[in-house]
Amino acid sequence: MSALYVERAGLVTSVGLGLDAACAAFRCKLALPTESRLLSIRDEWVKVHRVVLAPEGRGLPKLARMAALAIGESLEALPDSVIGGIPLLLCVAEPERPGRIDGLDSHLFDAVTGLLGMRFAKGSGVIAAGRAGLGRALQQARSLMAQGRVSRVLVAAADSLLDWPTLQSLAEEGRLLGAGNSNGFMPGEAGAALLLGSAGSQPALQLRGLGFGTEPSPLASTTPLRCDGLATAISSALGEAGLAFQDLDLRMADLSGEHYYFKEAALAVSRILRAHKEELDLWHPAECTGETGAAAPLCMMAYADVACRRGYSPGPRVLLHFGNDAGQRVAAVLQYGVAA
């Protein structure tokens, strides 16, 4: 299996319009929610995490700008002649997302490449799986590199839950955080990009294991949650990496506030951990950015890379786990260091 390493990353979030600024905010647990003025519940304006760009925009044009800014940051050290040989895998919201932009799959890719003025290699495409999209993208990137067709793959995402139809649907489902609802999240938006390559002579964050699972009791289910999907995904990723749960130094998850996902994350530990573990931090950048959909896992992976490079990660072995509301679950085991 071809090894993937993070070469560079780019982030556009509500707490920073670049990788360094965003990760510094994550480390400080800085959050900047504002009132949406689009929706109120019980006479209270819904709080959101908005990416502030000038000029302000929304919809497809804003998604394209966030993605283009993140991609541009991740590619800034590469010449155009090299960029033309890199495929772009663009992660977006799942088709069943309420309020999803019409024609998102067909129009966003062209809008992003148009803003960048770049052409990407054969094998590029759009992955519409929401928060589970990064898992599919990593799987495809491995396949492309294993075939020897490319030496680098660019994975990017742009998503927003701040359009009025989406906010209205989330409010009707009781999923938004507010004074009368602690079991909810603040919606947000973000753009993110990861340039993945093969091993070099310098330390880098490597993907060592990747696992998938399907939760038979997803968010909207009335059956008891047993965490079958996430436990399967984590066990598969650890097995591929040749590690046990107690070997990990850090865990990152796409937790944004809903009790269901915190319960699932806790159940996963009880299902898998079979030895004493004194401490294992759980980081969730959504506490700073709000729920950012398809961009959330890329924010996590970029943050893991920066934390390891800057030396403030608890250790070199990091578990990411994430999934979407439909029940798709993904786990990735990462390790920072020089390739063996």
pLDDT tens sequence across 57-82: 889 999 999 999 999 999 998 988 89
Tokens 């959330």 — which residue?
296
CATH number for the domain that contains residue 222: 3.40.47.10
Segments forming the whole domain that contains residue 112: 4-197
Please answer whether residues 319 and 294 qualify as being in contact, where contact means their C-beta atoms are separated by less than 8 angstroms: no
pLDDT band of 3, cuts 50, 70, 90: confident
Do residues 19 and 36 share a domain? yes
The residue among 162, 197, 232 that closes a domain is 197
Do residues 88 and 108 share a domain? yes
Query: What one-character-per-residue DSSP string does 245-296 give?
Result: GGG-SEEEE---S-HHHHHHHHHHHHHH--S--S--EEE-THHHH-B-GGGH
pLDDT at 340 over 60: no
Do residues 170 and 232 share a domain? no
pLDDT tens sequence across 182-235: 999 999 999 999 999 987 668 999 999 999 999 999 998 999 999 999 999 999
pLDDT tens sequence across 232-290: 999 999 999 999 999 999 999 999 999 999 999 999 999 999 888 888 999 999 999 99
Q: What is the mean pLDDT of residues 322-331?
A: 97
The residue among 157, 178, 197 that closes a domain is 197
Looking at the chain, which runs of residues are DSSP E strands?
4-12, 34-41, 44-48, 88-92, 125-128, 152-160, 189-197, 204-214, 250-253, 281-283, 317-323, 328-337
Please answer whether residues 116 and 64 qualify as being in contact, where contact means their C-beta atoms are separated by less than 8 angstroms: no
Do residues 248 and 137 share a domain? no
Do residues 104 and 143 share a domain? yes
**Residue 236, H or E segment:** helix 228-241
Structure tokens at 335: 């390790």
Report the pLDDT value the prediction gives residue 313, as an integer from 0 to 100: 97
Do residues 233 and 170 share a domain? no
The residue among 197, 214, 236 that closes a domain is 197
Comparing CA positions, the residue from 48, 30, 233, 44 lying closest to residue 136 is: 233
The torsion angles phi and psi of 104, rounded to 5 degrees, stand at: -60, -45
Comparing CA positions, the residue from 104, 70, 63 lying closest to residue 88 is: 70
Do residues 107 and 142 share a domain? yes
pLDDT tens sequence across 103-136: 999 899 999 999 999 999 999 999 999 999 999 9
Please state, in angstroms and rounded to a whole number, the distance separating the CA atoms of residues 20 and 10.
9
Do residues 250 and 227 share a domain? yes
Do residues 292 and 171 share a domain? no
Please state, in angstroms and rounded to a whole number, the distance separating the CA atoms of residues 33 and 210.
33
Do residues 260 and 151 share a domain? no
* Domain total of the chain: 2
Structure tokens at 316: 């070199």
Report the pLDDT value the prediction gives residue 1, as an integer from 0 to 100: 52
Report the pLDDT value the prediction gives residue 91, as an integer from 0 to 100: 98
Report the pLDDT value the prediction gives residue 41, as an integer from 0 to 100: 74
The sign of the torsion formed by the CA atoms of 56, 87, 305, 132 equals positive
Share of residues in the chain with pLDDT > 90 (%)? 85
| Global confidence as pTM | 0.96
Do residues 165 and 232 share a domain? no
Do residues 181 and 225 share a domain? no
Report the pLDDT value the prediction gives residue 223, as an integer from 0 to 100: 93
Mean per-residue pLDDT over the chain, rounded: 94
Beta partners for residue 154, in sequence order: 88, 195
